[in-house]
Structure 1
């Protein structure tokens, strides 16, 4: 997985590797290569070796890809951290991953400043901050890229492939690191995590649009695989529905990857706004991350043509399915057939189910993975035959097409972002006026799902609109806002069994 074969030759101008929109900042393949090499040399100079971890806390900017490439070609695990997390939440990931380096940006300086008091073992020894006007108040942080400008722009001598170490929420409500064994091979001998999925519909003359935050798995992996193929990546600095259409027209985008919420927001633009932009350059687009309502997808196909493909996968990368737009029209609602291996649908006792019956989805023949520092969760994802699951629920039809009926049991997927509700529940019940709490997803036309909360108060007289506002403000001071309920309702008693199991489905039905 390399970008250097696409460098300029014979004095010809270097092709853009990255274009940021709307700022228009351009990073050529020559510049991307040089920046990644300098930082790789710096990592080695600081003692980082194969298997070490680099945490990245940056918004979509010109430094994100060079940092990921530097880590990847140095044999390092790189951990992109959600920029909406609080300092305490980001610190948990840095500590849990054992990161020896952290690269942040000026835009996240307040979060970076709060890390020190949240990390029990102190800050990682290697710390860089990217962007203009980085404050000297961050003691021991090196300005990037200025602080590595004296490093060679040639490859390090011991290049070896690293990997993404992605965090996603687990059963405890805390994020879990999804770790794969490193290949222990030079980058040139490793095809890349999504090579087969990306490669089937791209060509060297393509222009790829990456509209989502790069701290998510798919945007980071896909964009790097795209760049390895010598294809220009247009990165939206922040998703905006009209800005997305503007970027497609301005850069003659041919391919892109979206989440269903983006489709919804673009479709809800006034018709005269949508028609203002020329999207005829589009050849194929892909969507994933959350179930797409069939009607939304039909509207997108009506607008953009039968070019809207879909895949189903997970951060664990243990298996994936794919379905083209034309195939979807004859199997509406399906996420397709497996790209490799086989799918098994099992009941609660581990028995394989026939077509049409929903159960837990297991993949056979996919990539191996483990949950970092959580052997119990890792073991729970394995079947005795070696198949793996992430807890998603679905069924196969008679033709072998997969349909999803649930995602990670109680996992909420809002705008393509996975939200595990127990983290908010655990925080809510620490409030002195709260006896019990339930957080779950309810349908939302734009985001797919929105986060809803129901609370049982210690004193029934506290179940007021005033306390709802107070409690929401209290929770938002302690958790990233996207994890918090948009609204709270009150119940005299939550539906729990004698063993403490919460019947959330009753609440979902009531408040949907």
Structure 2
């Protein structure tokens, strides 16, 4: 339009680094991070992040270099989320469950220049570096994050450890000029997918998307100013669903914990008067099945953002009984974490509790950072009818969809084909516009030509009083092609049989959907709470003829 001009007065590249800059002014003397007996204020956190950025620059880190970190939810991991992008570099947070073999693959692929490693994970990291050296690949500089309160002199550092975290911060200057992104679409982080099906892919986030998704996730979880957030969600997972940055935007108090258990959760809620927390349904399951001795009354409203895997309605119902306010979100690593929310409608408050839980188990509609969320036929790209029955693939368009897969243009083009991000999840759209997941496209069971949603079968099994966790996969069948095989973990002290689980399902589902075989065992999980179904499919396939319960007749 005539007279309009874009300049520095009316356009500044978006970056979540600005959240910290503001927090240090508005909330400067308020607590930012708590870890055991250690506390920092927002002013101190900003100073430490600037020192970190200064130290990284002295170590040779420059714009677009990758800086990796392998650590649980400790203050250093929080600070790295700001200190690394302050240099213009790219943060790569690594899954703490990776072994040395997988870690060296990711370090090789990311070409990380430096890796920060928590002291408890040092042996795993050293093993990865040895593998890289053996392959004659340059290894990243190793910086150890030592145990809080332990002096450098007492820290058992070996010759393979170059330096430690607190030492490089102490030696650095807080007078650092932040290298703001020239283009807001410059990369801020690379997040490797959880690897539930194959070798993880590196998902590239940019400053703009991180900024927008942090704000969207704050709104999704109704996080007002100065919340008290308990870090039960791994910060390395989608940068803590972008809430690492989001807590700075709202001047929140970050309660860092190294390990997650029901007792730790309830103790911290009581001690710190937690207002918000988040995690996969496995965390919710941990809470609702906590021993009475570990449970404590909630000091106030505790909002819980859940996602990563579809939560069973029974778990949502029990969380409500305990007094938690659960917000159900859905997204993927490729959407910066949360991308949709089951926005609650006041008229649903008068419904019976179990009906409320059923509605809350849906994945809902897109949040404000996503332009469009739809269920489409992946071949024709036409939207499926909003009848709650016709299945299609969940697809996204918007500013909080990844830039692409790092060093994998072919996979990027495939995922973004047709101008939409193809999630690989199958779902339906209800008449009110809310979507509901039915399965991953690779997890759907096709038995005798009928599609079986493993999520639906799992939800039924979860209702059995003896069941703690359940996962269903297809097992090859000569007659039907494949039939449902359930892997079940029982609650402590509970006992039941395969026959009982199958009978329980057959009274609540069409017979063809009920499991034909049941295995009682622990379920393999990713660190974000997703069941590794590819592992279970391999087990089911290997079992072959071991399970013939019910034969080949429905």
Correspondence 1:165 to 2:172: no
User: Residues of 2 paired with 1:408 and 1:170: CA distance?
Assistant: 16
Correspondence 1:129 to 2:144: yes
Structure 1 counterpart of 2:333 = 315
Which of 191, 194, 215 is 1:195 aligned to? 215
User: Residues of 1 paired with 2:178 and 2:269: CA distance?
Assistant: 40
Which of 314, 338, 344 is 2:374 aligned to? 344
Counterparts in 2 of 1:249 and 1:492: CA distance versus 1, 3 Å: closer
**Alpha-carbon shift at residue 406 of structure 1 (Å):** 0.9
> Where do residues 60-459 of structure 1 align in structure 2 (5 Å cutoff)?
60-119=73-132, 120-131=135-146, 132=150, 133-139=154-160, 141-160=162-181, 163-169=188-194, 173-181=198-206, 191-199=211-219, 201-217=222-238, 219=240, 221-271=242-292, 273-274=294-295, 277-304=296-323, 307-317=325-335, 320-326=339-345, 329=356, 331-339=359-367, 340-352=370-382, 353-355=384-386, 356=388, 357-366=390-399, 367-384=401-418, 386-407=419-440, 409-410=442-443, 442=487
TM score, norm. by length of structure 2:
0.69
User: Residues of 2 paired with 1:211 and 1:240: CA distance?
Assistant: 9
Q: Secondary structure of the equivalent of 2:116?
A: strand
**Alpha-carbon shift at residue 443 of structure 1 (Å):** 5.3
Q: Deviations over 1:205-246 (max 9, x none)?
A: 321122122221252621321123211111222111022011
User: Any conservation in 2 of the 1:212–1:238 contact (CA below 8 Å)?
Assistant: no
Q: Which sits farther off after the overlay, 223-232 or 317-326?
A: 317-326
**Alpha-carbon shift at residue 192 of structure 1 (Å):** 4.5
User: Residues of 2 paired with 1:95 and 1:86: CA distance?
Assistant: 14
TM score, norm. by length of structure 1:
0.75
**Alpha-carbon shift at residue 73 of structure 1 (Å):** 1.9
User: Residues of 2 paired with 1:193 and 1:337: CA distance?
Assistant: 15
User: Residues of 2 paired with 1:400 and 1:394: CA distance?
Assistant: 12
Structure 2 counterpart of 1:461 = none
User: Residues of 2 paired with 1:242 and 1:229: CA distance?
Assistant: 28
**Alpha-carbon shift at residue 170 of structure 1 (Å):** 6.0
Q: Deviations over 1:418-459 (max 9, x none)?
A: x9x9xxxxxxxxxxxxxxxxxx9845578xxxxxxxxxxxxx
Q: Which has the higher helix share?
A: 2
Structure 2 counterpart of 1:460 = none
Q: Can you give the 5+ residue segments of structure 2 that lack an aligned partner in the other structure? A: 1-15, 349-355, 445-453, 459-470, 474-484, 492-521, 525-530
Structure 1 counterpart of 2:56 = 43
Structure 2 counterpart of 1:5 = 22
User: Residues of 1 paired with 2:322 and 2:44: CA distance?
Assistant: 37
- Across the aligned residues of Structure 1 and Structure 2, the Cα RMSD in angstroms comes to 3.7
Q: Can you give the 5+ residue segments of structure 1 that lack an aligned partner in the other structure? A: 184-188, 422-439, 447-471, 476-481, 495-505
Q: How many residues align?
A: 433
Q: Secondary structure of the equivalent of 1:262?
A: helix
